[in-house]
Structure 1
């Protein structure tokens, strides 16, 4: 008999949808969670959108009714990490390469976004980033600013294919500064621990669900949380079979999982 979990942390890209394309079994999986009163958060490395934007996208495009409180992004985790783990005070000066989701998350907890003598540099996905922005980030880190990466995903799965992700942007900064960032998003355990705290579930009664072994599944392994691998996105069964530690569970798609 399969273990029953009180809380689920569910990836989005490649697990619930692929851009505007629906993924078989995803909508039905969420319906089963709701029917069985399971707690869940959509856990995404995408820092570009606010939780309200993610919830609206799920609700209107994919017919999965969602509230902002059911979404936890790497942007939100970054803000929580700076405030709670690093105890950065209100007004801390932060230089950001990122979009509205990241900027909103940081300002909502009282941080100041500026390129004037920043104490922290945060780099996330930014489709409008230019050379001067990377130059400012590089110079600030060289002067001692704490360097945070929302996530290090090299690519993002979309309906167009795999496009460059935040990890590709951070690679530029890392190369220029020779400084490794503190990574918040998956596969770091940071985002899993912070998401669990929001959900109110323990290590042993939480399940993380995803399509990417190297982010979703490794995040669970690193945070000592059980994992469910769905083969609807990036990682293939052959790739996963070659890894040192297998996911706790594996399914073809989420139709195969009973909550």
Structure 2
């Protein structure tokens, strides 16, 4: 492989499962640091701040700093701030989203917002839905941090940001601007932070429909690692659904480290 100019690394399913580190995750990051290969941890998770993500990784023995974390919340905040600096935003989300929007100089409001920004929101209820629909139907731009329909939890799969977004879209009749994977917006935000072109970046992930599709949509090279969602049994199905194929396939993170780091 040509020398890697920048690596965009997925988290859940690629480096860990919940609170359990996947074998080779710490070795991969150590080698990237030793070889001074630029990288970012890129996640659709909108609920955590970069500090919380880095702490979670560090707790599993995976070296990480907040500056190395790129979330869908940060990308959403950057997108809106670029389009409408200082815009008024209605926030349907948790700490990671609220923090990112405030840090970008955007103004939270529940009075005639210019944007309705929605991520995972475990306090979401009928009143939240009604307000969001009213705001959007009267002109606010709908922004969805990520389209994940389901999230893993200690009790099994639970509704994700995409499930809440589907209710808002159905009632408002308006498709949201999607920021997270498989959208290319998150990938472009990450490569801009690294100061490289998407064509010079490699996306490493376990999910054909999100990680690999997002990389392909942005013009990045892609490496599928068989550590999570994609398996030998479902790979063809996921490739067909995603409409793309990975540039490389690795059985585990040790093989990925050899491919990426030489």
The TM-score, its normalising length taken from structure 2, stands at 0.93
Runs of 4+ aligned residues of structure 1 deviating over 6 Å after TM superposition are none
Question: Which one of 125, 140, 143 corresponds to residue 138 of structure 2?
Answer: 143
| RMSD between superposed Cα atoms in Å | 1.3
Closer, same or farther in 2 for the Cα pair 1:233/1:79, shift >3 Å?
same
TM-superposed deviation, 1:97: 0.7
SS of 1:148's partner is: strand
Aligned to 1:223: 218
Residue 8 of structure 2: SS of its match in structure 1? strand
Instruction: State the SS of the aligned residue for 1:237.
Output: coil
1:18-29 alignment runs, 5 A limit: 18-29=17-28
Q: How far, CA to CA, are the matches of 1:113 and 1:65 in structure 2?
A: 34
- 1:62 corresponds in structure 2 to 60
The structure that is helix-richer by fraction is 2
Q: Would the aligned equivalents of 2:116 and 2:136 in 1 still touch at CA under 8 Å?
A: yes
Q: CA deviation at 1:4?
A: 2.5
> Pairwise mapping of residues 1-259 of structure 1 onto structure 2 (< 5 A)?
2-59=1-58, 61-84=59-82, 86=83, 88-90=84-86, 92-242=87-237, 243=240, 244-257=243-256, 258=258, 259=261
Matched residue of 1:24: which SS? Answer: coil
Which piece of structure 1 moves more, 241-250 or 165-174?
241-250
Question: 8 Å contact 2:81–2:105 — kept in the other structure?
Answer: no
Post-superposition offset of 1:241? 2.4
Report the Cα distance in structure 2 between the residues aligned to 1:117 and 1:76, rounded to whole angstroms: 23
Gaps of 5+ in 2: none
Structure 1: tracts of 5 or more residues without a match = none
SS in 2 for 1:126: coil
Distance 1:27 1:159, change over 3 A: farther
Distance in 1, Cα, partners of 2:101 & 2:229: 30
Deviations along 1:217-252, whole A, 9 cap, x unmatched?
000010010011111112223433242431011112
Comparing 233-242 with 208-217, greater Cα deviation is found at 233-242
